Amino acid sequence: MTNKHNPAALNTGRRPLRGAGINLFYLPAILILIVFTVWPLLSGIQLSFTNWDGYSPTKAFVGLSNYLTMFKDHNFGTVLVNTLIYGVGSTAIQQVIGLGLALLLNSRIKGRNIMRAIIYLPALVSAVIMGTMYYFVFQYQQGALNTLMVSLGLPRVVWFDKPAVSVAIIVIINSLQYVGTSMIIYLAGLQGMDHSVIEAADLDGAHGWKKFRNITLPLLMPAFSTSVVLNLIGGLKLFDVIQVLTGGGPGYSTNSVSTYIGLTYFSNQNAGYASAMGVVLFVIIAIATTLLNKGLDRLGWES
């Protein structure tokens, strides 16, 4: 009883902050992550060396065969290029528009709160639902774009029958949906800036582009790298919009690696090949993220 209120005695007995027992707290989380993420990831690597069809009890070890198939598979080539276009294209568009919007909506403009809310709104709605809504822009008979074409005296266009056009439309839709996320990251960056720096620049007569280039932009580097990494990961694993708008078609022309994995597994019953592509997709995203983080860090140092 007396010991209990004696801190010295207690500290020598058990030291809650340093005892390993505290690690028990992360067991539930680790368990869930191991079963539903880590194990599937490792098991996927193992499956990628087999010819498993996804349901039969037997599978044979085929070595690197699935990885070699990727080089010969024209569809995979298309799908890989599409994935890079989705990733890099969306990232570029989102940075330009997102930063522009953040700069405009950071000024004392009337109604800026409601405008920010509207710009951000699509990012909250499921990509599937936004995809179905965007469909009404491009629909053949009643779509907004073809209404415009007709009123200009031009013929109606089937928007989703040309691969290049379809890929471009998917990039634009994905960019518009998540441009609000970039805007908010840049707004947070702008609002977190050291005001003394900006005031100093004002006193020195730095205005407009020069102030932006030399003061604002370097201070926005952390926001820039966050936004780029988030957008790039999102674009590289793009799945929902493609599935809803084109289903990967016409042919395989608008698939991303993600949608192609789904097709290969469930429609073509080639679980081994699908697993191998899953491994490749993960490696691409991991490398891109790591390189980008390092590169952007260095860029931040220099400016």
Partner 1 sequence: MTSAIRHAEAASRSTDTTGKGNGKGGRRIGHALAYLFLGAMIVAQLLPFWLALSAASKPSTDMSSTLVPRLHDIAWDNFTTAITQGGILTAVGNSVIVTVCSTVLVCICGAAAAYPLARRKTRGNKLVSAGIMSLMMVPPLSILVPLYTLMVNTGGVNTRWGIVLVTVAGNLPLAIFLYTAFIKAVPESIDEAGMIDGASRFMIFIRLILPLLKPVTATVVIMTSVGVWNEYALSNYLISDPGKQLIAPRVASFFAMQSSNLGVGAASALIAALPIVIVYLFLQRYFIAGIAAGAEK
The footprint of partner 1 on residues 61-80 (CB under 8 A) is none
Handedness of CA 45, 275, 71, 239 (dihedral sign): negative
Contact between 41 and partner 1 per CB under 8 A: yes
User: Are residues 280 and 217 in contact, defined by beta-carbon separation less than 8 angstroms?
Assistant: no
Q: Which is nearer to partner 1, 60 or 132 (CB)?
A: 132
Contact between 144 and partner 1 per CB under 8 A: yes
The minimum distance between CB 73 and partner 1, in angstroms, equals: 17
Radius of gyration of the chain, Cα coordinates, nearest whole angstrom: 26
The minimum distance between CB 251 and partner 1, in angstroms, equals: 18
Q: Considering only 72-80, 157-165, 205-213, 294-302, which stretch makes contact with partner 1 by CB under 8 A?
A: 205-213
User: Are residues 277 and 70 in contact, defined by beta-carbon separation less than 8 angstroms?
Assistant: yes
Q: Considering only 63-71, 162-170, 239-247, 294-302, which stretch makes contact with partner 1 by CB under 8 A?
A: 239-247
Contact between 176 and partner 1 per CB under 8 A: yes
The beta-carbon contacts of 115-121 under 8 Å, at least 24 apart in sequence, are 116/180, 116/183, 116/184, 116/187, 119/179, 119/180, 119/183, 120/180, 120/181, 120/183, 120/184, 121/180
The minimum distance between CB 93 and partner 1, in angstroms, equals: 12
What is the footprint of partner 1 within residues 243-262 (CB under 8 A)? 243-244, 247, 257-259, 261-262
Nearest Cα neighbor of 130 from 140, 145, 120 is 120
Among 165, 279, 292, 296, binds partner 1 (CB under 8 A): 279
Contact between 152 and partner 1 per CB under 8 A: no
The minimum distance between CB 63 and partner 1, in angstroms, equals: 18
Round to whole Å and give the CA distance between 247 and 259: 8
Round to whole Å and give the CA distance between 229 and 95: 11
Q: Considering only 24-32, 61-69, 86-94, 155-163, which stretch makes contact with partner 1 by CB under 8 A?
A: 24-32
Helices (H), 24-73: 27-33, 39-47, 65-72
Q: Which is nearer to partner 1, 64 or 286 (CB)?
A: 286
Among 58, 153, 194, 267, binds partner 1 (CB under 8 A): 194
Among 49, 76, 86, 134, binds partner 1 (CB under 8 A): 134
Contact between 291 and partner 1 per CB under 8 A: no
User: Are residues 134 and 173 in contact, defined by beta-carbon separation less than 8 angstroms?
Assistant: yes
Neighbours of 122 (CB within 10 A): 19
Contact between 18 and partner 1 per CB under 8 A: yes
Contact between 153 and partner 1 per CB under 8 A: no
Contact between 57 and partner 1 per CB under 8 A: no
State the number of binding residues for partner 1 (CB under 8 A): 118
Nearest Cα neighbor of 271 from 63, 78, 46 is 46
Three-state secondary structure of 150-175: HHCCCCCCCCCCCHHHHHHHHHHHHH
What residue type is 262 in one-letter code?
G
